[in-house]
Amino acid sequence: NAGVTQTPKFQVLKTGQSMTLQCAQDMNHEYMSWYRQDPGMGLRLIHYSVGAGITDQGEVPNGYNVSRSTTEDFPLRLLSAAPSQTSVYFCASRGDYEQFFGPGTRLTVL
């Protein structure tokens, strides 16, 4: 049982580049979400989805897009990377009782 997987684990981008962070879960959870974690800021919600075809904005959505074409996958797209997007990104999948996190993607934008 893989749980929540994320790729890549590490990424360095230049300002203005775009990229997609991949997230997949094999628990058949409807609810998935993306967070970013910065020192002293805790986890902040970027976007979330309550099921295939349904997404919504969280606390800090600017500069990011998401889509949910299947229950399993929930990719996060950075449209034009900025240094302020340097962070650790966690994807999460939520069941009835517990929210499971992926191992994270450490992103640096130069």
Partner 1 sequence: RKEVEQDPGPFNVPEGATVAFNCTYSNSASQSFFWYRQDCRKEPKLLMSVYSSGNEDGRFTAQLNRASQYISLLIRDSKLSDSATYLCVVTAGRRALTFGSGTRLQVQP
Contact residues for partner 1, defined by CB under 8 A: 31, 33, 35, 40-45, 48, 50, 58, 90, 94, 97-99, 101-104
Q: Between 41 and 80, whose beta carbon lies closer to partner 1?
A: 41
Q: Between 14 and 96, whose beta carbon lies closer to partner 1?
A: 96
CB 22 → partner 1: shortest distance, Å? 16
**Backbone angle region of 69, left / alpha / beta, with phi > 0 → left and psi within -120 to 50 → alpha:** alpha
CB 31 → partner 1: shortest distance, Å? 7
Residue type for position 30: E
Strand pairing class (4-7; 19-25): antiparallel
How many Å apart are CA 24 and CA 93, to the nearest integer? 9
Alpha carbon of residue 7 to chain centroid: 10
CB 3 → partner 1: shortest distance, Å? 10
